[in-house]
Amino acid sequence: MAPSVPKVTAVVVSSASNWWDEIQLIRIECRVPEYGWTTQKVFHFLNFLVNGVRSAVFTFRRSVQRIRPEVLQHVLLDLPSLAFFTTYALLVLFWAEIYYQARAVSTDRLRPAFYAINSVIYSIQIALWLLFWWKPIQPVLVLSKLFFAGVSFFAALGFLLYGGRLFLMLQRFPVESRGRRKKLHEVGYVATICFSCFLVRCIMMCFNAFDKAADLDVLNHPILNFLYYLLVEIIPSSLVLFILRKLPPRRGITQYHPIH
């Protein structure tokens, strides 16, 4: 059977975004190789992984659905969503560090908190996968979808809180500052896009958990599935990558920290 048009379109768009991530990562590495794995490099690398895995899942979806045990299907389908959360939570972390550094507040606890939050989220999801493996019943799937909805809502709040704080802080800079205007627009656009996509994901996962008519399975609902990933992953990540396309300066910037 020929693949559906939405499925092919999703694969093409996601693959294009994936190639752009790879190109951008190479450009940044050539520009500032002496800084190692910076936040910007890790962000693009994680985007590359998310889009790559999502493209592969879309391409081989029929083969994925024949995998046994069934829990492995859910791992392959859910793992890119978890990685997508980690990728954009890294952006929230970066903004939080900028905000607190500008206010002369210590940022020593931010990265440990980032690692701890992600560890807890992945641990809970792994426990849900193991529970479904042991007892594959519908309530476990509902619980897993509600957990994803909660994670998405948490991410949306992060963008609202730190994106909003950073935006308001930049507004207090001198109006004639050209860099301030560009950064103000950048933060405003990205915060709005990311907040909206995670909020939509949260709402859709809640509907998906309790309403079978809102099933996001690509074989049974190709149009709905395509629109869902278009709204919550493909378009947001493409727009964010375009907005954040600027390369860092070669040298002489003190706030460009490597990840340890």
Q: SS3 for 40-82, per residue? A: HHHHHHHHHHHHHHHHHHHHCHHHHCCCCCHHHHHHHHHHHHH
**Is the link from the previous residue into 69 a cis peptide, with omega within 30 of 0?**
yes
Which tokens hold the place of 245? 């396309």
Q: Could you give the CA distance from residue 260 to residue 255 in angstroms, rounded to a whole number?
A: 15
pLDDT, greater one: 226 or 214 = 226
Number of H helices, E strands in the chain: 10, 0
Note the pLDDT of residue 78: 85
pLDDT tens string 221-249 = 656 777 777 788 888 888 888 888 776 66
Contact yes or no for 250/29 (Cβ under 8 A): no
Going from N- to C-terminal start, the domains of the chain cover 37-245
- The predicted pLDDT at position 213 comes to 60
Q: Which tokens belong to 257?
A: 């920290």
Task: Report yes or no: 16 and 233 within 8 Å, Cβ to Cβ.
Answer: no
Report pTM: 0.80
What does 74-139 look like in DSSP terms, one character per residue? Answer: HHHHHHHHHHHHHHHHHHHHHHHHHHHHHTT---TTHHHHHHHHHHHHHHHHHHHHHHHHHS--HH
Write down the pLDDT at residue 122: 95
pLDDT of residue 160: 94
Name residue 38's beta-bridge partners. 258
